[in-house]
Amino acid sequence: LAAILALSGCGGSSPANSAPAENPYGLIEPGTIRVASLGDSKPYTFTDAQGNFTGFDVELFKDVAHRAGVDNVVFTGQDFSGLLAAVANGQFDVGVAAIGITDKRKETVDFSEGYLAGYLTVITTKTSGIKDVDGLSGKRLGVVQGTLQEAYAVKNFTSANLVRFPDNNTAISAVNSGSVDAHFLDYEAAKAYQEQYGLVSAADIPSFDAPAGFAIAKDKPAFKEALNKGLAAAMQDGTWKKLYQKWFPGSPMPEQYLPKAEQTASP
Ligand SMILES: NC(=O)CC[C@H](NC[C@@]1(O)OC[C@@H](O)[C@@H](O)[C@@H]1O)C(=O)O
């Protein structure tokens, strides 16, 4: 009878449209999540003295992956400009690197719900004379290729001379060596570099319309749903808040990611 059932194809297998039971999220290697990330965007994602990836985005993602039932998470550093393509073409299961969700990027990848909304910051040396965005006129401004900062600068800092870098480290060393006058990166990473090199902030530009999300390939609905459920649970039980206060002490905390009971009644 079993042979007949098997032949007839009605042996009760899982519905045709879901991934095989042993790999529900369609991972490259079942049971392991391969993450494309950055090593130099402290405190979002960076490698510590032992070479381990850590930071707010890293720890939040590992928490969410745990809630989705996957504890084997492998991080690999990438240039930001190649990160989304590497996720889209199946080299990685997910991109985790303070990646702002935009319609343009959704042409290449899909995103989880947002988990962090903040500012884009211009940092410079104390002696550059750049005190605000007008001060960028005629100056050399560093941007990391493929970032929202690059797109924003192309559109809005039209009198600055943009210099594209593969990552923050090379851009910051160019600021320190004087080969560029300023660099344009994420607020918390800018703060870390300011502390490390005595640089100063010249402008903070809100990027709340493009909150950071986890970038995944387009055809992974079960994976996306699991990440969103994990994110919602981490926000609701205060894990998100704990990680935010650990990695961004003193920074204003966006309310929308706090437990519902802690959100002030919407006006
Ligand atoms: N890691 C990077 O270099 C990413 C740079 C840049 N991050 C922007 C952003 O996602 O950073 C975290 C939050 O402040 C978001 O509001 C912001 O859009 C981007 O998505 O292009």
Report pLDDT digits (tens) over 166-188: 999 999 999 999 999 999 999 99
Q: Return the residue whose CA atom lies nearest to atom 8 of ligand 1.
A: 100
Mean pLDDT of 33-40: 96
Q: For residue 263, how far is its CA from the centre of ligand 1 (angstroms)? A: 24
* Pocket (CB within 6 angstroms of ligand 1): 38, 41, 80, 97-100, 116-118, 144, 147-148, 186, 207-208, 210-212
Tell me if ipTM is over 0.95.
Answer: yes
* DSSP-H helix ranges across the chain: 2-8, 56-67, 80-88, 148-156, 168-177, 187-197, 221-236, 239-247
> Looking only at Cα atoms, what is the longest distance across the chain?
84
Q: How far is the CA of 213 from the centre of ligand 1 (A)?
A: 9
What is the atom index within ligand 1 of the atom nearest the CA of 100? 10
Q: Which residues contact 259 (CB under 8 A, 6 or more apart)?
A: 235, 236, 237, 238, 241
Ligand 1 centroid, distance to 245 Cα (angstroms): 18
Considering only CA atoms, give the Rg of the chain. 21
Residue nearest to atom 5 of ligand 1 (CA): 147
pLDDT at residue 21 greater than cutoff 50: yes
Q: What tens digit of pLDDT does each residue of 114-166 get?
A: 999 999 999 999 999 999 999 999 999 999 999 999 999 999 999 999 999 99
90 backbone dihedrals φ, ψ, rounded to 5°: 80, 15
Model confidence pLDDT, tens digit, residues 209-248: 999 999 999 989 999 999 999 999 999 999 999 999 999 9
So what's the pLDDT on residue 38? 95
Residue with the bigger pLDDT between 6 and 160: it is 160
- Predicted confidence at residue 2, as pLDDT, reads 56
Mutate to test the pocket of ligand 1, among 204, 207, 251 (most ligand atoms within 8 A of CB): 207
E strand spans, 100-235: 110-111, 119-124, 140-144, 161-165, 182-186, 200-206, 215-216
Picking from 134, 95, 104, the residue whose alpha carbon sits closest to that of residue 216 is 95
**CA 39 – ligand 1 centroid, Å:** 15
Atom of ligand 1 minimally distant from the CA of 210: 18
Instruction: Output the CA 28–ligand 1 centroid distance in Å.
Output: 26
Contact criterion met (CB below 8 Å) for 95 and 37: yes
**How many Å lie between the centroid of ligand 1 and the Cα of residue 83?**
13
**Ligand 1 atom 11 nearest Cα:** 98
Q: Which residue has the CA at smallest separation from atom 9 of ligand 1?
A: 100
In this structure, which residue's CA is closest to atom 10 in ligand 1? Answer: 100
Distance from the alpha carbon of residue 148 to the mean position of ligand 1, in angstroms: 7
Gap from CA of 259 to ligand 1 centroid (Å):
23
